[in-house]
Structure 1
Amino acid sequence: MPDAKAPDLKTAPAPVLLYDGICGVCNGAVQTILRLDPHGSLRFAPLQGDFAEGVIDHHPFLAGVDSIVFVEDPGGAGEQVAIKTDAALRVAKYLGGPWHAFRAAAVIPAPLRDRLYDGFARVRYRIFGTHDTCPIPSPEVRARFLD
């Protein structure tokens, strides 16, 4: 049965995932999501870009955020953002299929989930490295990147 709250993908603006453009693990996650995206519509923008700057201007609490950010209805009156594990759970919901199983993590209180997220975020550069600049996406998916 379809999710009653799922947006109509033909008429709703595609969601956008903001990510750390220089982070090795973040870029790997984006590449994985691109392969798994059943709709082919999720768009991406680095936190270091102009699109992210506009989102942060609309949601000042995001200033200085060191997290993925899932933006629903970007630029619309109903624009909503989710960060850290809430954003990851939104990605799992968007991907659907077996990825819905990860949504079970929602039973863990967000402060505990986010504490684990923050711990990983502190060491991600050491473990997975960084890029000097945001990698250039392949021509097949370049249109899905906003910056």
Structure 2
Amino acid sequence: MIQVQELLYIDAADFFKHIAESVAYDISEATGKKVRVKQLHKGFSYKKTMKNKVGRKGEVDINITEWDPPHIYKAEFSSYGGVNTLSYEIEDLADGRIGVTYSEDFKGRNRSSDWNFKLMNLFYKGRAKKRATRLLRAVEKYAQEEKAKENKIEDNQEA
């Protein structure tokens, strides 16, 4: 399991909004159908073609298993090899900060898939944690920039 916890200087609703928009975009790209954030819910599922860690393409069934804006997004990615679970848990803190716990886990279809993942995880875990931290920081920065743009527009409208 890979787990990263970060303190971010952003509102939970703004953070979750960007996660939700990203999920809706991913669904639209995978299915060719326009999906809005309002349509997302626990149990929403779709298929997508993805590459695995060694570059092979395969079809993945994606199911949103938890959807509680602005606190939890959890999804399962089921493929021939097993089920990869990804989640964001967001906790409101004082002073406009949030605590975000990002988690990834994998359960293989059989013992050899599980062992293979555990072995590969030894090599990739550090890289995966850094990637997750960069992702969270990028979402924070993007959301802060969007909020600043919104505030500037509101200030100009009031003037």
TM score, norm. by length of structure 1 = 0.28
Structure ranking higher in strand proportion: 2
More RCO (CA 8 Å, sep 6+): 1
TM-score after normalising by structure 2: 0.26
- Which protein shows a greater Rg? 2
